Amino acid sequence: MTEAEYAEYIAMFNAACAGDGTGFAAVFDRYYEPGAVFEYVPNATKNSGRDFTIRFWQGVHEIMHETILPHVSFLSVGTKMASEAPIDFICKRDVEWVGVPHKKGTSFRLMMAAFYDLSPANKIRYARVYSIYNRAYQPD
C-alpha cells in the first residue's frame, strides 16, 4: 500500500467517523480482508473478522468522535506497513479511555502507532494499533 493509498484509507475512515453516510462497513470492505484481525493494544482487544471489527469501531463512535490527523511517520515495505499519527477525540459522554477519565464535551489527543500486515491483494489482514495518552500530546 502506498502512502497515498493509506491517506485515502484514513480519509475514508475519518469520513465514516464524521457520519458522512459511508459507514464503517464500506471502510472495512474496501481496505480489509474478510477475516482480518484488528487488535487494539491498550486493552488487548482482538476483533476478528468484519462484524467484530465494525462493532468495535461503532462502539468507539457511540462514545467519542474520532479524527485521525495526518501521519508523522509512514513506512511500507512489501506486505508490512507502519504509521504514526495523532488522533483527536471529542467525548460524547463521560468516559475513561486508556486509563484517563474524560468528561462529556471535552477533547483529548492520543498518539497512535499502527502496524499492518497486508495480503497479496493489498488489503489489511492484521492491524495492531497502539494508542498512547500523554499530557504532552495535548493541543494548546
| pLDDT value of residue 21 | 85
| 3-class DSSP assignment, residue 5 | helix
Q: Write out pLDDT tens, residues 16-47.
A: 999 888 899 999 999 999 999 999 887 777 88
pTM: 0.92
SS3 content of the chain, % helix, strand, coil (to 5): 30, 45, 25
| pLDDT value of residue 73 | 97
Q: How far apart are CA 122 and CA 90, in angstroms?
A: 32
Least confident segment among 48-52, 101-105, 136-140: 136-140
Q: Give me the DSSP letters along 36-64.
A: EEEEEGGGTEEEESHHHHHHHHHHHHHHE
Residue-number span of the structural domain to which 128 is assigned: 3-137
Q: Write out pLDDT tens, residues 69-110.
A: 999 999 999 999 999 999 999 999 999 887 889 999 999 999
**Mean pLDDT of all residues belonging to the chain:** 93
The number of domains in the chain is 1
| pLDDT value of residue 81 | 98
Q: Write out pLDDT tens, residues 110-136.
A: 999 999 999 999 999 999 999 988 889
Residue 8: CATH number of its domain? 3.10.450.50
| pLDDT value of residue 135 | 86
